[in-house]
Amino acid sequence: MRVLVVEDDLCVARDLEAGLTEHSHSVASAATLEEGERLAAKGAFDAIVLDVKLPDGDGFELCRRLRRAAIGTPIILLTGLDASRDKVKGLDAGADDFMVKPADIDELCARLRAVTRRHRAGGGAILAYEDLELDLHKHRVSRAGTAIRLTPKEFALLEHLARNAERVLTRSSIGQNVWDLNFDPDSNVIEVFVSALRRKLGSPRLIHTVPGAGYMLSREPPPA
């Protein structure tokens, strides 16, 4: 699971990152509202752990901004105050869950699993990266506001790439997740579908080939 931690207390952020990494999660960190908003908008995270108090605003405001931008990534708010009004305010702002600091890492991981399960079952419908947007419920794709018609398999491939944005995905991983466990590794079907997606998504290119490794969805091509 890819988790974005937005926390300005360096010690707390390090503890959260270490604990989540120990539980096999991939973690990115931000220390401000502005940085958290930027990362959340461009990265396909599975969940966000968000502190209520930030140096340039608060977690409630960031929650509202992300929801207004149609970013449906599950959010768990962290606060040092065990106040019902803060919980109500956070949930009304669009948060999915609430924890009081210091957060027990095992409980946090359990809550992350719960909110992502609910999200996959129908909570959040929008997956966004850069100017690309996927409506997971309606199976619709747009880029910079322009609708793009995809086949069901093209949509499934793009969704898998978007959920793992800026990570290299091997052909084997793509084959097993988008096709099935019996996927023929010698088939050129992935190359055919990647080529079709690139053509339909237009420029600048978002799907890049990583020689000898696989493919990745990224704003910039991988280093040579």
On whether the pTM is more than 0.85, the answer is no
The number of C-alpha atoms within 13 Å of 21 and in the hemisphere containing its C-beta is: 10
Q: Does domain 2-121 have CATH number 2.60.120.380?
A: no
Q: What is the pLDDT of residue 140?
A: 87
Residue 77: phi and psi, rounded to 5, are -85, 140
Residue listed under structure tokens 């305010």: 89
Domain with CATH 3.40.50.2300 in the chain: 2-121
- Over range 54-69, report the average pLDDT: 86
CATH class of the region 126-217 = mainly alpha
Tokens of 158: 């793009």
Nearest to 207 by CA among 145, 146, 158: 158
Task: Calculate what percentage of the chain has a pLDDT beyond 70.
Answer: 90
Measured between alpha carbons, how far is 171 from 191 in angstroms, rounded to an integer?
9
Q: What is the pLDDT of residue 48?
A: 94
Q: What is the pLDDT of residue 18?
A: 92
Q: What is the pLDDT of residue 205?
A: 94
Mean pLDDT over the full length of the chain? 85
Detail the DSSP E strand segments found in the chain: 2-6, 26-30, 47-51, 53-54, 57-58, 75-79, 97-100, 126-129, 132-135, 140-143, 146-148, 207-210, 214-217
Residue 205: phi and psi, rounded to 5, are -65, 135
Domain with CATH 1.10.10.10 in the chain: 126-217
